[in-house]
Amino acid sequence: MSLDPLFTPVKLGAIDLKHRVIMAPLTRLRSRQPGDVPQALNATYYAQRASAGGLIVTEATDIVSQARGYPGAPGLYSDEQIAGWKLVTDAVHAKGGRIVVQLWHTGRISHSSMQPGGTVPVAPSAVAAPGDHMNAQGQPVLFETPRALTLPEIATIVGQFRTAAVNAKKAGFDGVEVHGANGYLIDQFSQDGTNKRDDVYGGAIENRTRFLFEVVDAVTDVLGADRVGVRLSPWGSFNGMHDSDPGALFDYVSEQLGQRRLAYLHVIEPRANQNSDTNALDPHAPDAASRFRARFGGPLISAGGYTAETGAAAVESGKADAIAYGRLFIANPDLVERFQRTAELNRYQRATFYGGDAKGYTDYPALETADAAE
């Protein structure tokens, strides 16, 4: 089929784009240490993947040291980190691209070795995630039982998201994406498999989602709703997540976010498994984009195992306004051009996804490099 639907302009709030191929947030764990500071290598990586009038969503970025859950993930809470991200945004803007920062707090998906003072991670409730994680040295360790946050602490974290939005503005970002997906702190509050509270943040859906909406409202107070997006993972099971009625939960969330007139809603399709490739999708999983688009009522980005052809079909059908690509962008810095030219794609190498140096990060060849080698 024609890929033309992917290459028509679209407006996500205040962000005008010339095409609908979005770079999804991708954790790569290559910030400068100590300090979790974005560096020149990161600026090169993002600039390689910038396209004129295209949008990049950064890797998930810690709002404060307590939010850390992965060694090498960047932060946006120190002056040095703000300056490092300014290198990135300047490099992307120089290529004519747009870039928003994804803000997160990992909650229970952390380890005491990465927490201030070596304390256990925090969460809405003292419910440990299943299986193992990694410590500050990147070694496998069992998840610890987190400590339940107090009401004053929850208010403090909302304020930290607000400060991160201020810092995003200083760093030159075009907007912010609030990470409400994949089993991290906001998602932990929203789903009843991890939220066992009996106060104003627990129980009914309206209470469990209170934290999400407080964070979104705090961020929009700084940037304006038309520069804020939210990412969700309905029916997702990553990091041990589950809810007794996910349909009702995310129906409510998408409707409430829609009333806030946000720039976009970014939905991860449950058919896709991040540990599988695009040929390993679950055809029986719910169609999240189709379900939540009407309830949200604004621009919707869909992510999860798309090819150029299936992405174009999703846009043409009207179920999504733009398509986010992750692993394909890792291996193809010029993915947009490759789609436009229907050129062959580089294959990604999983072994270099997380941590390390330029190998598997900035050394994937672009088309002109590949052509010259022939």
- CA 247, 249, 254: angle at the middle one, nearest 5? 95
C-alpha–C-alpha distance, residues 115 and 65, integer Å:
7
Burial class (CB in 10 A: 0-12, 13-18, 19+), 279: exposed
Which helix (H) or strand (E) segment holds residue 148: the answer is: strand 147-148
Alpha helix segments (H runs only) across the chain: 40-48, 79-94, 151-170, 185-190, 205-208, 210-223, 246-259, 288-296, 308-317, 327-331, 335-340, 367-373
C-alpha–C-alpha distance, residues 363 and 350, integer Å:
14
Rg (C-alpha) for the chain, rounded Å, is 19
**76: nearest Cα among 186, 158, 161, 178:** 161
- CA 63, 65, 70: angle at the middle one, nearest 5? 90
C-alpha–C-alpha distance, residues 143 and 120, integer Å:
10
Which residues belong to the active site?
184
Q: Helix (H, G, I), strand (E, B), or coil: what is residue 142?
A: strand
N-terminal to C-terminal alpha carbon distance within the chain = 29
φ and ψ at 124, to 5 degrees?
Answer: -65, -35
Q: What are the residues whose beta carbons fall under 8 Å from the beta carbon of 358, sequence distance 6 or more?
A: 41
Token digits of residue 274: 């991040």
Cross-strand pairs, 148: 123
**286: nearest Cα among 319, 334, 324, 326:** 319
